[in-house]
Homo-oligomer: A and B are copies of this chain.
């Protein structure tokens, strides 16, 4: 496995691979790799000649009071994980190279970031859309792999890539969960073991909610149900939101009659967790 730190060098390698007819599968990450990331890498490995993983904790997607500085950066471990899982190139650019002095350009997707996480993290999805566009131009992938845990992010990146005419196939991969049902996240390492156990109720509540939706319950009743169930178990939790939204536009729905997604974000102590569940009727 080759570790590449220079943007220019990564571009050269990608260009040369394309000229030689190799397909590039790309997994952009912020590091602190877990089995969710490994499922993306495995899928990329299966479908491409060359697998490129990037590790970059993107300052543009963190708000001024968020956890950019304390976000976990276990690079030595991440490197071993990549090497052991068939990654060919690990791209690790420096923040100063990605956002040099005088940097001024951003990709904005309108409307879709207005609700859900975007309402609580202003500018977050602008940072996400921008870094993904930049990384696509650098790694020049044929396919790129994203997890469905970050559902709003996935939909915004799909919209951005289509709108901007990126010639990249986006592959959405299912959320990977602990045995308890807790969705894997790099931020789970902020949780105590006891908090992790209690957080199993999140997936439990989503599964139960899916069932009552099929009985014809409205969004308000479903989200109320989830809130009560989760807060009864995780006493130090506070919800940012629980909503039922249209699966493609992310617009909240009242009566649930179309492909929808239940999406939620909550804070457990100082840790922000998200999860979601698709509901197809």
Chain A residues with CB under 8 Å of chain B are: 7, 11, 15, 18-19, 21, 102-112, 129-130, 133-134, 137-138, 140, 159-160, 163-167
Evaluate contact between B103 and A106: CB separation under 8 angstroms.
no
A107-B109 in contact (CB<8A) = no
Measured between beta carbons, the chain B residues less than 8 angstroms from A167 are 11, 15, 137-138, 140
Residue in B closest to A134 when the chains form the complex, CB atoms: B165
In the complex, how many angstroms separate the beta carbon of A189 from the nearest chain B beta carbon? 31
Pick the 3 closest A-B CB pairs, nearest first: A105-B163, A137-B165, A104-B110
Interface of A is mostly: mixed
**How far does the Cβ of A129 sit from chain B's closest Cβ, in whole Å?**
7
Which residues of chain B come closer than 8 Å to A102, judged between CB atoms?
A: 159
Smallest beta-carbon distance A109→chain B, Å: 5
Within the complex, what minimum Cβ distance (angstroms) separates A250 from chain B? Answer: 11
From B104, B110, B130, B134, give the contact of A159 (CB < 8 A).
B104
Given contacts A18-B19, A19-B19, A137-B166, 14 further A-B contacts (CB under 8 A): A7-B165, A15-B18, A19-B21, A102-B159, A103-B163, A104-B163, A105-B108, A105-B109, A105-B160, A105-B163, A106-B108, A134-B165, A137-B167, A140-B167
Distance in Å from the Cβ of A31 to the closest Cβ of chain B?
20
* Interchain CB contact under 8 A, A107 and B106: yes
For the complex, what is the distance from the CA of A163 to the CA of B11, rounded to whole Å? 14
A134 to B107, CA, bound (A): 12
- Contact between B109 and A164 (Cβ–Cβ < 8 Å)? no
**CA separation between A166 and B137, bound complex, in Å?**
6
Report the bound CA distance from A110 to B130 in whole Å.
Answer: 13
B137, A105: Cβ atoms under 8 Å?
A: no
Contact A111 B104, CB 8 Å, known A165-B134, A166-B137: yes
A99 closest partner in B (C-beta): B163
Shortest beta-carbon distance from A115 to chain B in Å: 14
Q: Is the CB of B165 within 8 A of A11?
A: yes
Per the bound structure, the CA–CA distance linking A159 and B105 in Å amounts to 7
Q: Which of A18, A105, A106 has the most CB of B within 10 A?
A: A105
C-alpha gap A129/B107 in the complex (Å): 10
Q: How far is the CA of A133 from the CA of B105 in the complex (A)?
A: 11
Q: Report the minimal beta-carbon distance from A154 to chain B, rounded to whole angstroms.
A: 15
- Interchain CB contact (< 8 A) of A164 among B18, B112, B137: B137
Smallest beta-carbon distance A110→chain B, Å: 4
Residues of B within 8 A of A21 (CB): 19
**Distance of A10 from chain B, by nearest CB (Å):** 9
Question: Which listed residue (B110, B112, B165) contacts A106, Cβ 8 A?
Answer: B110
